[in-house]
Chain A
């Protein structure tokens, strides 16, 4: 043991000498070499391969109009999936996002067209509702210790009921024209939702990799007991995950509502499946503690391209569901079985 006091290690100048030395191989976790590169970037490689296939076999895939359409669709999917990502990261599950989208969509439309609330105020109110939904999900799952699968299944059902009650089962139209810009507009010939996705991705990336709170999510997901005994507020992190999930679902909801120019209860009703696929395909472990923001976004691109290609080739919707099912189960099989070292 050196005679230098350990308290000095906290002071950068005292450890400057140490800084000059090597901290060890950064890539050693993956073993180094081509194989590790492939493992790390499987998704990107799959995506490139898929794009090559599409350019050969799918007519009209690379037409500007179609690419813009994919970009828009993927943006919404990626944003909502990034919300779910935080919940899966702490080894929980949020089943209610589809109907959080539904309720916030009809509320946004209803507030503006029925009650004449200005757009800005309506947006603030809708986010307020999202936060409340997230807190309820979080309190039930984390503080109440109801398995989140059940807790959010229940809130999902309640939200579904509320959405239909509020909208009386019909789409609410009559939205202000400028809202459409959020969904269908272009800035420098790139669809506006893409900017939204890039912004959300950047925030999530910085949050997870460079902040104390972001790292707490990995700590809680990897071992909640150890995290708690290291002084991390496990409950706060847990509830926050559900709040982020609901808020990002709402960002997606606003975009989708702006795109269709109507508040629709069933707007996100079939989205949960794609979102789960994206999160798991993106390398997030269902056991928690492992996952990357970039992986999720790349997975959204992959799923978006597959969906679009299937539509262009003219594959029946029912077959599409089966194909997506096969994708999700393959990915989960790999995740679950790669746990055994």
Chain B
């Protein structure tokens, strides 16, 4: 049977802490990831852990689940001290600690049911007792208030459903503490609401939730207390109800962010890129235009076809109909090579998988699409010219790096993204197709990317911006196209550019 703590006794902010951490220090070669950080979690509490990338949130989470070994510090679970030297992932699971990441630790080919119980099957002799498993799984689902087809391999489930399976798994293991690590970063708005419901279900049952997220609004919505980390230091721990957004942003960044979005000027007359009734498997009859010096936003839920549209414009997703016009002339773009020739450049959402070659150095990554510009005598690379160009562009983007011969793998997300941008800036790109250019990068780096977008448009370049953050689109785009289930639902500009109008179209509510 599933043990569920009585909901009546659990009230946020009372009782012996489920978890208490004192003066925790974690060192990695060359860096102090956490410096004497203290943290505590009460039964039935949702405790937000916030900070920029690299502030130490994940490190703290990993210490709690036994993945990282601290250099010093003490940890108490329900008042009893845990020996941190012999602490391990196994031990943390025994104590009832679970973590749910945005990257899945699910086995794709197995069904949801099997994933929930893998390693903990109830058995009849040597055989798995499917009937019992199914019954338990349904109890769990009911508890979570969701219905998922448990007999399907998880690879067919949606992102949000996979997260539910992971949560169910945590519950099946009788979790006392659940760490939710940036779950909502890849979720559409409607599914985020489901996550909130789950969090409430968990806390009502006295389970402690550690909530890690970049989206500050969510913290106000569901969290009781917050802890801010900055550069490995604990900055503050207090109640969410005494907090304002401006205050928390200040604590996270350690400085006042006066103005996040730069001014984007008025676009020119010339239409650089236009599509007419462009269709594919993922979208239908998409017509849009992009003018010189313009930022065109594309809003839409996960699965609306935004990423596919950008890839199709870049010759990397098969079209079934319609036409693409570059500077008014119809063109055939059947490959990324053709797209690049027509002045298009793609900044993909999955930076490490699609944007960079982590085995190559900074310089070679930067010049990859523009290699042929640095040739001499037919075949040979003119290394001096290439290095000079890479150096020039990276200095302009204020990349923080040690050497042009350094690998790109260990640079921060923001610096990696600057290299991807630099690639296209060197490659004569006129229209930058940006797919979530600020995904997973910290507040400071985001502001730099925004400023770069403004710089590009000031030079007469155009940007097609896909982003899950409405704020970003509202702050940067001259016009916003709204996609819903593969179709352009609406286009807003000027006065109509407000959150409510867009949300309505996004959710398909104005059908």
Contacts and interface: CB of A to CB of B under 8 A. Distances in A.
B403 A26 contact: yes
Given A15-B388, A24-B401, A290-B359, A229 B396 contact: no
B340 A28 contact: no
B336 A231 contact: yes
A289 interface: yes
A310 B385 CA distance: 50
Contacts of A231: 336-337, 339-340, 368-369, 427
Given A9-B389, A18-B388, A229-B314, A29 B371 contact: no
A212 to B, nearest CB: 5
Interface in A219-265: 219, 221-223, 225-233
A215 B337 contact: no
Contacts of B383: 210
B404 A23 contact: yes
B371 A21 contact: no
Given A10-B373, A211-B380, A25 B402 contact: yes
A65 B371 CA distance: 48
B388 A215 contact: no
Nearest to A232: B368
Contacts of B405: 23-29
B359 A223 contact: yes
Interface in A16-42: 16, 18-19, 21, 23-29
B355 A24 contact: no
The contact size tier of chain A is: 35 or more
B357 A28 contact: no
Given A23-B387, A228-B336, A229-B316, A18 B403 contact: no
Interface in B349-392: 353-361, 363-364, 368-369, 371-373, 375, 379-381, 383-385, 387-389, 391-392
Contacts of B381: 210-212, 215
Contacts of B380: 206, 210-211
Contact of A9 (B354, B360, B396, B407): B396
B359 A218 contact: yes
B353 A212 contact: no
B384 A19 contact: yes
Contact of A219 (B368, B379, B393): B368
A290 B357 CA distance: 11
A163 B166 CA distance: 56
A288 to B, nearest CB: 8
A289 B408 CA distance: 14
A219 B360 contact: yes
B14 interface: no
A67 to B, nearest CB: 35
A338 interface: no
Contacts of A314: none
A166 B371 CA distance: 46
A334 B396 CA distance: 40
A230 B360 contact: no
Contacts of B375: 212
A187 interface: no
Contact of B403 (A6, A12, A25): A25
B423 interface: yes
Contacts of A64: none
B471 interface: no
Contacts of B391: 15, 18-19, 21, 23
Interface string B454-493: 0100010000000000000000000000000000000000
Given A1-B455, A15-B391, A211-B379, A24 B357 contact: no
B404 A228 contact: no
B346 interface: yes
Task: Name the residue in A9, A212, A289 with the highest tally of chain B Cβ atoms < 10 Å from its Cβ.
Answer: A9
Nearest to A231: B340
B385 A24 contact: no
Contacts of A23: 363, 387, 391, 403-405
B347 to A, nearest CB: 10
A330 B388 CA distance: 42
A29 B392 CA distance: 21
B176 to A, nearest CB: 32
B358 A222 contact: yes
Contacts of A120: none
Contacts of B364: 215, 218-219
Given A6-B425, A18-B392, A219 B385 contact: no
Contacts of B389: 9-10, 15
Contact of A2 (B316, B337, B373, B396): B396
B395 interface: yes
Contact of A15 (B369, B372, B392, B423): B392
Task: Name the residue in A16, A18, A26, A290 with the highest tally of chain B Cβ atoms < 10 Å from its Cβ.
Answer: A18
19 contacts: A6-B396, A6-B425, A9-B392, A23-B403, A24-B401, A24-B402, A24-B405, A206-B380, A210-B381, A211-B379, A212-B375, A218-B359, A222-B359, A223-B353, A225-B354, A229-B336, A229-B354, A231-B337, A233-B337
Closest 3 A/B residue pairs (Cβ): A24-B403, A9-B392, A222-B359
Given A18-B391, A18-B392, A215-B364, 11 more contacts: A1-B451, A19-B387, A212-B372, A213-B379, A219-B364, A222-B359, A225-B353, A226-B355, A226-B356, A229-B348, A230-B369
Interface of A: 1-2, 4-6, 8-10, 12, 14-16, 18-19, 21, 23-29, 206, 210-213, 215-216, 218-219, 221-223, 225-233, 289-290
Interface of B: 314, 316, 335-337, 339-340, 346, 348, 353-361, 363-364, 368-369, 371-373, 375, 379-381, 383-385, 387-389, 391-393, 395-398, 401-407, 423, 425-427, 451, 455, 459
